[in-house]
Structure 1
Amino acid sequence: MDHETALASLFSAEGRRDPYPAYDAIRAHAPAFQALDGRWFVTTHALVTRLLRDPALRVADANDYDGFWPDWRANRGVASIVLSLLGTNPPDHTRVRRAAAATFTARRVAGMRDVITTQVKELITALPASADFMSAFAYPLPIGVICALLGVPESDRPWFRQRAADLTVVLEPISSQEEMDLADVAGRELEDYFIGLIAERRRDPQEDLTSALVGAGSGLTGAEMLANLVLLLVAGFETTTNLLGTGLELLLSRPRQAARLRSDPELAPAFVEEILRYDSPVQLTSRFTTTPADLGDGVVLAPGASVTMLLGAANRDPERYPDPHRFDPDRGTIQPVSFGGGAHYCLGAPLARLEAQVALPLLLTMLPKLALDGPPERRDRLVLRGYSTLPITTG
């Protein structure tokens, strides 16, 4: 398969189900190459890692959207993402990120371990003999955790799941009008909810992230607060759901590795890093150059060039990971690019890691007969990779 055919396959349902043969063909062609209306695609771990940290690259922001989609703000699902940290560049990104990081602290995340453990045990106890792991566990856990962090009452959490799921289509390069309409409705409903929650926390602050963000010291505008609360909900749930589903499928289809983690839960951090590397919940991210960018081998991109970094290809680069298609938690120094890097490194990465590190060993130890109960189904997504259903039996 030549690199152009391989790249085109990623935009087909079959290619999205298993993009890794295409990534191999693309990477073998060149670390970076130009295709599809002049966009550049970057494939290797070394180059992706460097470019993610390069301050001369920027994300598409509101000004870009104004140029190619003048009425994008009318879709509130799109607006909530574009106006959040995901769609902001310095100096606004620096200011908002600093405020968010000051509230979304390592201490606050570490303090969630007991909350996560309690929710995991409750969900495991409630699992029936046969279940779809995605709907019974992989969706409710991250929604419950991020809602607890934000201070959303437990009774409201089931309502959030569908809205968050509908909104994530905004992150995909291909979507239908029906999906975009659902994203708009979800964005409006989530904004309405968080407007109410912000007002409530201003009147009566609590020990939660929303109260910290609306505090006088954050310096965020009302629109910034709103967009980033929606982002924290959506990003905090979607990638972790995919990480949990993918991780459990990898373990249950490899009984020897599952047995190792069951007998030694302290191995969980290494297992989670290898899951992230082996089948990343986020497969690509895009940037624009602001100055000439040297990609090596005599390739220099002009300012304004579009650069798509194939995170899934970088994570299986044989130059960085020998025998990259083998699942091996014993690899030394696993450094997946699954959560990005640099100024836009995922703020919620520590929380996603912690949820998986707690959940996967407990699933295996509390349910020693846990097994797959039929073939899983993949979501038809290019950017956000995961399962729509994962049938299990608890034995």
Structure 2
Amino acid sequence: MDAAAAVEVLLSPGAGLDPYPAYSALRSQGPIVGQAGAFFVTGWHAADAVLRDPAMIVFDAALLDQHWPDWRGNKGVALFADSMLKQNPPNHTRMRRLASGVFTARRVGLLRDVIEAQVAETLDEMVARTGGGVADFMTQLAYPLPIKVICALLGVTAADRGRFRRLAEALTAVLEVQLTEEQAAGAHAAAEELEDYFTALIEVRRQDPQDDLVTALAAAHDSGGDKLTAGELMGNLALLLVAGFETTTNLLGNGLRVLLERPALAGRLRDDPGAAPAYVEEMLRYEPPVQLTGRFAGADTVVAGVPVPAFSELIVFLGAANRDTARFADPDRFDPDRPDNAPLSFGAGVHYCLGAPLARLEAQVALPAVLRRFPRLAPAAEPVRRDRLTLRGWATLPVSVGSVD
């Protein structure tokens, strides 16, 4: 497979089912390759440099105006455009500072007891539903657990959690490389529904403030000045909700699938939960929940010896970089004992994922707990992947629960 064929595969429907052969073929042509009017980055060192370079910018409203003139007609695109995900400094810096207080290492560490309680509650619900039979891990744990955690941070009531899986799946389609008309319409409708929901919740929190993120960001908007506009308030709440749990859901599903395929390593983790941080880091490297991100060159530059003209688009394949032989020995092998493990799964630089510590902690708590609660856990049927590449994960992951300890 040459570079052109690899790029065609990765930009086509179905790319998320197994992108690794195309990644390997593209990386064999160099850590960064110009093709089809863009630059594709697959090398770890090149990807790290691009993500940390302040001259590299994200696809913000100004760039959208150039490449997609009628983008404002889709509420899903517009909602993310107003969030920190699609903003460059200084706007990005201002928004991130407002939200970062919730995701400090100290505050996330204090959430461990809450997460452990929610894991136990979710596993109890899983037992009650299955009675020791077959369960869909995605539906019964990988989705509900992160939703519970992010809703607790935002201040969303338990009664409202059920709608967010549907809304997130529809809305995050606009983050994919390919977007069909049907998906665009679904994202627009989901964004409208989510905006209506947050508008009502913000009014409730104005009347009854709580120690949650909705209250904090609404207060920042209401204080005036240049803290947070109405559009930014809505965009960042939507981002924190749907992107916040989608990535963790994929991490949990991808991670459990890796363990089911490797019973000996699963047994090690079950017997030694203290090994969870190393396991989760290797899961992030081996099967990252976010496979790619994009940048634009703000000026003429050189990446890994390749000249990149100003305003060029760069697609950074995080999943490919995480399996770069120039950075990782035997990268196609899952090895929780891997030394000096540094995956790029949460990005790098100023756009490093704000919720990374929380996602790591949820996986570190949940996966050993699942293995302990269900020591005979095994695959029950072939899982089904979602046809997504950017946010790559499973649609279903059937497991046989067996007897419960």
Q: TM-score, normalised by structure 2?
A: 0.94
Within-5 A mapping of 1:219-298: 219-297=227-305
Distance 2:103 2:196 in 1: 23
Structure 1 match to 2:202: 198
How is 1:27-66 mapped onto 2 (pairs within 5 angstroms)? 27-36=27-36, 38-66=37-65
Separation in structure 1 between the aligned mates of residue 210 and residue 15 of structure 2, nearest angstrom: 47
Instruction: Report what 2:22 is aligned to.
Output: 22
Which residue in 2 is equivalent to 1:152? 156
What amino acid is aligned across from residue 175 of structure 1 in structure 2?
Answer: L
- 1:9-50 CA-partner distances (Å, limit 9, x unpaired): 2234554311111111111111111111x1001111011011
Cα distance, 1:91 vs. partner?
1.4
Match of 2:7 in 1: 7
**Residues in 1 aligned to 2:57 and 2:115: alpha-carbon distance in whole angstroms:** 34
Q: Where do 5+ consecutive residues of structure 1 fail to align?
A: none
Q: Which runs of 4+ in 1 moved over 4 A?
A: none
2:317 to 307, 310, 318: 310
Equivalent-residue separation in structure 2 for 1:247 and 1:103 (angstroms): 26
Deviation readout 1:209-248 (Å, 9 max, x if unpaired): 2222223479212221111000000111111111000100
Between stretches 383-392 and 214-223, larger displacement belongs to 214-223
Instruction: Indicate if the aligned counterparts of 1:371 and 1:393 stay in contact, CA closer than 8 A.
Output: yes
Match for 1:368: what amino acid?
A: P
* 8 Å contact kept, 2:61–2:81: yes
Hey, what's the Cα distance between the residues in 2 that align with 1:302 and 1:73?
28
Q: Which residue pairs with 2:171 in the alignment?
A: 167
Alpha-carbon distance in structure 1 between the residues aligned to 2:212 and 2:177: 34
Aligned ranges for residues 281-360 of structure 1 at < 5 Å?
281-297=289-305, 299-360=306-367
How far is the alpha carbon of 1:66 from its aligned partner?
Answer: 1.8
Taking the aligned partners of 2:103 and 2:267, their CA distance within structure 1 comes to 34
Cα–Cα, structure 1 residues 349 and 317, in superposed 2: closer, same or farther, change >3 Å? same
Please state if 1:211 is matched with 2:215.
Answer: yes
Aligned residues: 393
AA in 2 matched with 1:197: L
Q: Secondary structure at the match of 1:187?
A: helix
**In the alignment, which of 374, 381, 384 is matched to residue 388 of structure 2?**
381
- The answer to whether the 8 Å contact 2:59/2:295 transfers is yes
Tell me the equivalent position of 1:117.
Answer: 116
Q: Is the 8 A contact 1:370 1:392 kept in 2?
A: yes
3-state SS, counterpart of residue 135 of structure 2: strand
Structure 2 distance, partners of 1:110, 1:344, is 22
Tell me by how many angstroms 1:103 deviates.
3.7
Alpha-carbon distance in structure 1 between the residues aligned to 2:99 and 2:139: 30
SS at 1:7 equivalent? helix
Q: Quick one: which amino acid aligns to residue 35 of structure 1? A: Q
Change (3 A) 1:389 1:274: same
| Equivalent position amino acid for 1:309 in 2 | V
Partners of 2:288 and 2:273 in 1: CA distance: 22
1:200, CA displacement in angstroms?
Answer: 1.7
CA positional deviation for 1:348: 0.8
- CA deviation string 1:137-161 (max 9, x = no partner): 1111111111111000000100222
> Displacement of 1:68 after TM fit?
2.8
Cα distance in 2, alignment partners of residues 16 and 70 from structure 1: 28
State, as a whole percentage, how many aligned pairs show the same letter: 54
Residues 150 and 209 in structure 1, CA contact (< 8 A), matched pair in contact too: yes
Secondary structure, aligned partner of 2:28: helix
- Deviations, residues 306-357 of structure 1 (Å, cap 9, x unaligned): 1111111100001111110000000012111011111111111111111100
| Alignment partners' CA distance in 2, 1:225 and 1:13 | 33
| 1-structure distance, mates of 2:395, 2:198 | 27
Supply the distance in 1 between the matched residues of 2:28 and 2:182 (Cα, whole angstroms).
37
| Distance in 1 separating the partners of 2:14 and 2:77 | 27
Task: Tell whether the 8 Å contact from 2:378 to 2:399 is kept in structure 1 after alignment.
Answer: yes
| Cα displacement (A) at 1:257 | 0.4
Extract unaligned runs of 5+ from structure 2: none
Distance 1:214 1:103, change over 3 A: farther
